[in-house]
Amino acid sequence: MIRATQVRAHHHWIEPPADTVVLDFDDRHRRRMAMRGTRGLEFLLDLETTTVLRGGDALVLDDNRLIEVVAAPEPLIEIRGSDPQHLVRVAWHLGNRHLPTQITAKGLRIRRDHVIEAMVKGLGARVIEIEAPFDPEGGAYAGGGHGHAPETDPHHHAAHDHSSHDHGGHGPHHDHGHHDEHCDHDHHHGHSHAHDRK
């Protein structure tokens, strides 16, 4: 099977892609997995380290053809504050729970979670349910905007000890939207066919 061993950063390429893979947030944090593009091209993602793929990146095949990475729409909530200071306060609480969070011009986006929704509503924020690609901040664990996530913790906070932090009376939070990278079941939502080989 042909391999993809390199990544060209977000839109830093002009050649027409040979195929496209549509991946959710979890499947854009991988090192090695079999993939099939929307046009049927099958290949093996085989990177040196677990890499944070962004929508607009291109995977480089052994024969130099490119596969475009598209971020799949996911069920999210967008959090709006009454003013910038209010939104920063909400962002602090999300960060205290180690939640992947996307920052937009309008507000903060996270995966849907009824516990967190109740928390931010309790802080006076407005919550709007949306479907959109999820592209959260990389943070220190991902080495920035196009860095590498730790091999042993592909979903950032899965191995974190929540007992050492204040959780505002809501108890340790578990992101129900995440699937463990080492699980056996399929979680690709019908977009591209990818099977974890890690």
For residue 150, the model assigns a pLDDT of 35
pLDDT over 60 at 169, yes or no: no
Q: Which residue has the higher pLDDT, 167 or 88?
A: 88
In a 3-state reduction of DSSP, which class is residue 37? coil
In a 3-state reduction of DSSP, which class is residue 27? helix
The one-character DSSP state at 17 is: P
Least confident range of 28-42, 101-115, 127-141: 127-141
Average pLDDT, rounded, for the chain: 77
DSSP labels for 116-181? HHHHHHHTT-EEEEEEEE------GGGTSTT-B--TT-TTSSTT--GGGS--TTS-----TT---T
pLDDT over 70 at 39, yes or no: yes
Nearest to residue 101, comparing CAs of 135, 124, 74, 54? 135
For residue 12, the model assigns a pLDDT of 85
For residue 114, the model assigns a pLDDT of 94
